[in-house]
Structure 1
């Protein structure tokens, strides 16, 4: 009797796992359309680019003999305008009609 209850609870757990897998993983595959492939490829390329950027940073550090902290500082200052692009763009879009007062 105890093994039958244990088997049914294991079966129930297994069925719940299969249902979760079907709802959350397999359903993504069923909803996939060919029109989604180009943006996904762009994101994939950006991710791979990030990984190769790490390798490039280590190459530059070793080849030019720069310290890691100098490269981190340089990267911060180089990326600062790109980082501020979104909030500044939002502010410009929001207050564009008042541009005469700002000038």
Structure 2
């Protein structure tokens, strides 16, 4: 993440946004590759996101002053709210909810 004080960057760093963006990129690409390639890409994104979150949690345990400020405290919070209603974010949220309901667990 380039600027942790930017609410827009932090919303774009949410798992839902990343997954939705990957789905849109797949739909818009002409290379194809099939749905197996899409599932593989989504799995890689999920795995990388979880790794980044784990590193962040370990970092703030050692250096609590590096904890990001709340989204509401950021100066561009109002603009970041618009990103939560983008198609990318909505698709990602639906995918996460569908996966959790399918297995009745926490997959994503």
Instruction: State the TM-score bracket (shorter-chain normalisation).
Output: 0.3 to 0.5
The higher relative CO (CA closer than 8 Å, separation ≥ 6) is in 2
- TM-score normalized by structure 2? 0.32
Q: As a proportion of its length, which structure holds more helix?
A: 1
- TM-score normalized by structure 1? 0.33
Larger-Rg structure: 1
